[in-house]
Amino acid sequence: MFLTFIGGAGTVTGSKTLVEFGEQRLLVDCGLFQGDSDDRARNWEPFPVDPASIDAVLLTHAHLDHCGYLPALVREGFRGPVYCTLATSQLVAIVLRDSAHLQEEDAQWARQKGFSRHADPRPLYDTADAQRAIELLRVKPFNQDFELFAGVFAEFEPSGHILGSSVLRLRETGVRARTVVFSGDLGRPAHPLLVAPHPPADADAVVIESTYGDRVHQDLSEGMELLASAITRTIRRGGTVVIPAFAVDRTEVLLKAIKDLEDQQRIPPARVCVDSPMALATLAVYRAAIDARAPEFRSEVLAQGSSIMDLAHLEQARTPQESMALDRGGPKIIISASGMAAGGRVVHHLKALLPDARNCVILVGFQAFGTHGRALQEGAAQLKIHGQYVKVRAEVVDVPVFSVHGDADELLAWLRSAGVVPANVFVVHGELGSSQVFAKRVAQELDTMAVVPKAGERIRI
C-alpha cells in the first residue's frame, strides 16, 4: 500500500491523499485549497495523476477543504463512486452546490468590476460539474466494513467533528495485511452535540490532522464568558456583532451557545440573524438527523430533540436583499459564512460594518493564513475587500473555544486511546510549524515514529 500526500500536507486546506494498492487507486478526501491567492492557485494546477485512473473516492466529511475539489476531479474525468456516510452525503450536496455558485458569482463579479488578474476570469467549476459529482455519492453506514476491491476494506467511524464526519479505516488483507486509519478532522471529546471520536485501534499507520497541533484550547467557561461580554457590550453601545462561521456545524454550535447564554440571561435579548442559505439548509439537516436519532449525536441531545437549537429571535436571510438589509437598522447578531471570511456573504458585512467602532467581529474558529479572518485576528488596521481598502474600526474578539477541532492534548489522547500505539504516525492538515511541533510531541511522548510528509511525498506502508 502506498500513500501520496497530494494536499493538506504542511497546510490546513486542500486535503487529498492518494492510496494505491497495486493497480488500484483511491483518493481519501478531495478538498479545495483555500486561503491566499497562492494557495487558491494550487486548485488550478493539473492533478498529479489522471483523475480517470482513480477507482473511488472516500470522503471523511463535508467541509469544503475535504470535498470541495470533487467537481473539478469529475470535470477532469473521474467517474468512480464517492463513498461517505449518510449525513456527509446530504451536507456535501449542499456544500458543493454552494461552492459552485460562489465560484460562478466570484468569476462574474471579477469580470464586471475588472479587478481580476485574468482578462476573462472563469470559475474552477460550475453548478453542472457539482451536480455530476453529487450523483456519484454512495452512502455507507457507520461502523460497518465494506469491500472496495478484492481484499481491501473500508469503514467509517464517528469522529465528533461535524454531523456525518468520520475517522476512516482502510484495511488490506492477505499476505500484505495492513491497516491505515485517517483521522479526517478530529473533533473534540466535549463537542456539545456529537459523541467523542472513535479510537484508532489496531492500526499500522495513522494519518492525523494537526490544525491545533501546537496549541491547547481555552477553557469552555472562559470562552462562553468572552462571547457573552463581547455580545453584551456591542448590543449596549448600539452596534452589530458579526460572527464569520463555517455554515456546517459551527453555526449549529453557536446557535446552541447563544441560546444557552440567553436562557441564563447572560446576554441582552437581541435579534439573531443567520445569513447564509447554506447554513440554513445545514440547520435543517441537523434538525432532521436529531429527529431521526442519528448515531453520532449525544444521548442528551437525542433526548431533548431538535428544539435544542430553537431561538426565540432567530431570523433568516435568504435573499441577497435580505442580507444587505442586515447592515442597517439596530443592534443585532449576524452569523454568516464563510468561517474565515475568505468569501461569501460575510465579506460584504465586513465591508459595511468594519468602519464603525460600535460594531464587533467575533472570530470563533481557525483562521488560515491569507484570509480576512487571519488579518483581523492579527490586528490589521485595514482590509482589502473587492479591490478596495476598508478601515477597521470595529472591535475584534477571538474566541477559539468554539473550534470543532481537537487541540494538541486531545489529538495526543486520541492516539493513546488506540491501546497499542501505531508504529507510524503521519502528521498532516496543519500549518507547517504546528504539524512539526505536534510530530515532535508524538515522537517523544508516545515513543513512536512521527513524520510530517511533504506535499507530493509517496510513502510505502
Residues that bind Zn ion (CB under 5 A): 63, 185
Q: Between 155 and 185, whose beta carbon lies closer to Zn ion? A: 185
Question: How far from 44 is each of 14, 25, 41, 180, 359, CA to CA, in Å?
Answer: 12, 22, 5, 30, 37
Smallest gap, in angstroms, from Cβ of residue 84 to Zn ion?
A: 13
Which positions ≥6 away from 270 have C-beta within 8 Å? 231, 235, 313, 331, 332, 333
Smallest gap, in angstroms, from Cβ of residue 66 to Zn ion?
A: 6
Q: Between 26 and 64, whose beta carbon lies closer to Zn ion? A: 64
Smallest gap, in angstroms, from Cβ of residue 8 to Zn ion?
A: 11
Smallest gap, in angstroms, from Cβ of residue 187 to Zn ion?
A: 9
Instruction: Name which of 165, 176, 170 is nearest 145 in CA terms.
Output: 170
Smallest gap, in angstroms, from Cβ of residue 73 to Zn ion?
A: 19
Degrees, nearest 5: CA angle 142-147-150 = 165
Which positions ≥6 away from 60 have C-beta within 8 Å? 28, 29, 66, 84, 88, 156, 159, 165, 166, 167, 168, 182, 184, 185
Smallest gap, in angstroms, from Cβ of residue 249 to Zn ion?
A: 8
Distance of CA 161 to the CA centre of its chain: 9
Cell of 431: 500549518
Smallest gap, in angstroms, from Cβ of residue 185 to Zn ion?
A: 4
Where in 162-220 does DSSP place strands (E)?
A: 166-172, 178-182, 205-209
Q: Between 63 and 171, whose beta carbon lies closer to Zn ion? A: 63
Smallest gap, in angstroms, from Cβ of residue 158 to Zn ion?
A: 14
Question: How far from 107 is each of 55, 126, 189, 371, 397, CA to CA, in Å?
Answer: 32, 11, 40, 18, 32
User: Rounded to an integer, what distance in angstroms lies between the CA atom of residue 256 and that of residue 66?
Assistant: 25
User: Rounded to an integer, what distance in angstroms lies between the CA atom of residue 317 and that of residue 294?
Assistant: 28
The amino acid that residue 65 corresponds to is: D
What torsion do the CA atoms of 189, 191, 192, 193 make, to the nearest 10 degrees? -100
User: Rounded to an integer, what distance in angstroms lies between the CA atom of residue 349 and that of residue 334?
Assistant: 9
The amino acid that residue 273 corresponds to is: C
Tell me if the bond preceding 299 is cis, omega within 30° of 0.
no
Smallest gap, in angstroms, from Cβ of residue 405 to Zn ion?
A: 7
Smallest gap, in angstroms, from Cβ of residue 101 to Zn ion?
A: 20
Question: How far from 272 is each of 255, 314, 353, 365, 449, CA to CA, in Å?
Answer: 9, 5, 16, 19, 48
